[in-house]
Amino acid sequence: MPQIITARRLLTDAGFVDYPVITVDDNGLIAAIDVDRAQSSSDDTLTPSLFDVHTHGGVGKDVMTATPADFSELQRFYASHGVAHYLPTTVTDSIDTTLHALERIADNIERPTPANESKPVAIHLEGPFLSHAKRGVHPAHDLLPPTIKLFDRFQQAARGHIALVTVAPELPGAVEFIEYTRASGIRVSLGHTNATLAEAQAAIDAGAASATHTFNAMRPLDHREPGVVAAVLNSPELFAELIADGIHVHPEMMKLWWRSKGAKRALLVTDSMSATGMADGDYTLGGLAVTVENQTATLTDSRSTLAGSLLTLDRAVENLQHFIGVPLAEAVRAASTNPAAMLGRNNVVSVSIGAPAHLNRYNAEGRRIATYLHGHELTS
C-alpha cells in the first residue's frame, strides 16, 4: 500500500518545495511529489538522506575485520543516524591484511542490503599511500609510496569497488598515480600529507578531487610556505572533508573552511571508528589499540594522537549549524549532495520521482527527528 509523507518543506535537488506531499510506492520509490498545504501541519523539513564517505566503523565494529553480522549491525547504526549510504574506509595495515579486508568489504557491498540498513556503495582506501611525517595513527612500517601495480592489486581484491583513495601528494609517483586513477574514474583525496603548496597544487592539477579531513594530519598553514592547506582552501574545484566534532577542528577554522569551500565543495564526514556509539573504554582501529576517555579517541600508546572520531553524521550536520551558523539546507548538502557530487554518484541522494524514498526529517531547531528508508520510518 502506498505511503504518504508530509512536512512544511522538502529539500530537493532543485531547491525547496513548500507543503510537500510525497507518495511512496510499494517498491519504496517516490511515485509523486505534490503540494497540499492542508495536509502539512508540522514545521518540519524533509531532506535527502546522508552519505558518509569516510567512516571506519561504529558500535564496536571495525570495517577492516567486520563479519557479515557485524556489517549488518553497523549499517543499522548508521541508518539510525540518518545515513542511507556510506563508503567503508580502510586504515593502513600490511598488504596481505589489506587485501583480505578489501575482499570482505567487497562481499558486503555485493550482498543485498536489508531495507532498514545503510547501504555500502564503494570503498575509500585510506592508506598505505600516506606521509610518514603526517601519518597520524597509521603505522609507519606499513606506509608505502603510491604505485599503479599495488593499487591494481588492491582494486582486484576489491573487485573494482574502490572509488576513493587518500594519497599524500609529495610522495614519489603521486602525480602519475593521480593521473592514472582519474582516467579510471577513481577519485583521489589529498591527505596525511606534509606537502608544500607546489606539491599540493601539482596534485590538484593532475586531477585530485578532494582533501581528507582538512587541517588534520596536514602541514600547518604558514605565511611563508602556505603548504597543502592553502592549496585546498584556494582551489575552487576541490572538495574538502571536515570532521565537525569540535575536537578535531576549532570552530574558527571551520569558518575559514566554510568560507573557502562554501555550500558546493564542503564535505562533512565522521572518520568514525569502532567506539562510536559506545562508552569510554578500549577499542581498535584496524589493528591499532585505541583508548576512549571523555568521548575522545586516542592511540593507547600515544595519547596525544587522535584516532578517528566518535562523531555521527547527523550530529555533524547539527554542529555545523550551531558552531558557525550554517543554514540547515546547506549543512545537509555538505553531508549528502556534495559527497555524492564529488564521487559522481548524484543519484545516491536524489529526491525525485523514481528515486528511493530515503529521507530525513528535521524539526524547526535543525535537529534530525526521523529517518525514512524506502519510505518507511525507522524505529529505534
* Active site amino acids: 271
Instruction: Please choose, from the candidates 379, 368, 347, the residue with its C-alpha nearest in 3D space to the C-alpha of residue 29.
Output: 347
User: Cα separation of 201 and 211, whole Å?
Assistant: 12
| Cell numbers that stand for 291 in this block | 583508548
Instruction: Please choose, from the candidates 327, 292, 54, the residue with its C-alpha nearest in 3D space to the C-alpha of residue 165.
Output: 54
Q: Are 282 and 257 in contact (CB under 8 A)?
A: no
Instruction: Please choose, from the candidates 252, 245, 254, the residue with its C-alpha nearest in 3D space to the C-alpha of residue 307.
Output: 245
User: Cα separation of 260 and 254, whole Å?
Assistant: 10
Q: Where are the beta strands (DSSP E) in 270-333?
A: 281-285, 288-293, 296-299, 302-306
Give 315-356 as a DSSP string.
HHHHHHHHHH---HHHHHHHTTHHHHHHHT-GGGG--STTSB
Q: Are 189 and 212 in contact (CB under 8 A)?
A: yes
